[in-house]
Amino acid sequence: MYYLAWRNLKQSRTQFILGVGGVALALLLMLSLDALLAGSEEDLVAYIEQSGADIFVSQEGVKNMHMAYSAITWRDLALARRASGVVSASPILYTTTVLKTEEADILSYVIGFDPDEPLGGPAEIAAGTAIIDPDEVIVDEAVARAQNLTLGDKVEVLGQTFTIVGLTRGLTNIVNSISFIHIQDFQKLRGDEVISYALLDVAPDQDVAEVAAVINGRNDRVLAISAADFSREERQIIKDMSVEILNIMNLSGFLIGLAVTALTLYTNTLRKRQEYGVLKAIGAKNRHLYTVVAVQAALSLVLGFVAAVSLVWLLGLLVPFLSPGMGLTLTQTGVTRVLAASLVIGIFAALVPAWQLARLDPAEVFRG
């Protein structure tokens, strides 16, 4: 029966391409939207997760960076640094502003960091250097590519002109980008001595949660939180705010994709009604008919799924170059959800006409 299902599926090359292709396009819609949502979340927390910090220390009550303001003192930083198990404590200043180029104004998170500290700066440099001096800036390569910027060009940040000396990679998202300046420039432009966050490196043999608890117990003006929890809070804020529209799009695309998949497999089964009539005429039982139909539908889904995953992977390589700030990330959860739902709905849709055909006399099938 399995061999018969495969022969029946590829009997006509045109119908095979249309059937599998239709399923692949429906699955592509579901997978690409899910990958876009996952990619957007990954891009928006990229700095936090690539920072190398084990603990983020912020103003009491502040658990994230997106749409947040945090101010702690250098004394708070010193207290955190003296906690047992802390290897280093790197200060950063942080704000949301506009990166002005000759061609456009780009919304950007600006981070002021000390290049002499181990943490706080960009994790990956695509070109140039991460060791910056005053009046120098590092921008993301996606922004540079979109705005025709190169090393040595000038941009305006916080009302001051800076020279581009480095290009980061992977720090542009659907909301904004991230730029880096020297912490001394940031302090001078803001006109105060506070810092935004302290990034702590904890010794490998220490428990991060316990170190954070000690810091919180010694200083009620700050909140020490593990980088994993900080990233989780950031993701939740993003889901509650800027990416909610993508959730709606993802759900809509998922339902549309399932509907197209079901319709395609339903139509494919009806198209083979005479072949199934022959099976009935030569004595095949209903369970044999259902097996052939179910296997044929499953084969169409698996082949379409492989094609769709390959296309999404290819789009994941091309989209960042065509549209800076957008990325596609396939997740195991998303792939499993799409495959499981499409198998259930697709096989059920294929069995509906098979059940109808099984109730008919073979002669009626040929006359119809």
Do 285 and 182 belong together in one domain?
Answer: no
Question: Residue 4's pLDDT is what?
Answer: 47
Do 190 and 301 belong together in one domain?
Answer: no
Asked if residue 58 belongs to a domain, the reply is no
d(CA 225, CA 73): 17
d(CA 252, CA 55): 38
The last residue of a domain, from among 167, 188, 220: 220
Asked if residue 178 belongs to a domain, the reply is yes
Lowest mean pLDDT among 161-165, 185-189, 241-245: 241-245
HEC readout, 7-72: HHHCCCHHHHHHHHHHHHHHHHHHHHHHHHHHHHHHHHCHHHHHCCCCEEEEECCCCCCCCCCCCE
Asked if residue 13 belongs to a domain, the reply is yes
- Span 258-263, mean pLDDT? 74
Do 216 and 252 belong together in one domain?
Answer: no
Do 20 and 102 belong together in one domain?
Answer: no
The answer to whether residue 59 scores a pLDDT higher than 80 is: yes
Phi, psi for residue 131 in degrees, rounded to 5: -90, 95
The answer to whether residue 131 scores a pLDDT higher than 50 is: yes
Do 39 and 141 belong together in one domain?
Answer: no
Do 169 and 301 belong together in one domain?
Answer: no
* Other beta carbons within 10 Å of 236: 12
Say how many residues make up the chain.
Answer: 368
Asked if residue 50 belongs to a domain, the reply is no
Do 257 and 324 belong together in one domain?
Answer: yes
CA atoms within 13 A on the CB side of 222: 30
Do 35 and 78 belong together in one domain?
Answer: no
Asked if residue 23 belongs to a domain, the reply is yes
Asked if residue 119 belongs to a domain, the reply is yes
Lowest mean pLDDT among 114-118, 169-173, 319-323: 319-323
pLDDT digits (tens, 9 = 90+) for 202-258: 999 999 999 999 999 999 999 999 999 999 888 877 666 655 566 676 677 777 777
The answer to whether residue 11 scores a pLDDT higher than 60 is: no
Average pLDDT over the chain, rounded to an integer: 80
Confidence of residue 78 (pLDDT cuts 50, 70, 90): very high
DSSP, res 172: B
- Span 267-271, mean pLDDT? 67
Do 9 and 93 belong together in one domain?
Answer: no
Do 84 and 207 belong together in one domain?
Answer: yes
DSSP, res 207: -
Do 128 and 264 belong together in one domain?
Answer: no
Which residue range forms the structural domain that includes residue 214? 73-220
State the total domains in the chain.
Answer: 2
Question: Residue 164's pLDDT is what?
Answer: 94
Question: Residue 2's pLDDT is what?
Answer: 46
Asked if residue 227 belongs to a domain, the reply is no
Do 207 and 325 belong together in one domain?
Answer: no
How far, CA to CA in Å, does 331 sit from each of 34, 165, 220, 312?
Answer: 8, 35, 39, 12
The answer to whether residue 118 scores a pLDDT higher than 80 is: yes
Asked if residue 85 belongs to a domain, the reply is yes
Confidence of residue 288 (pLDDT cuts 50, 70, 90): low
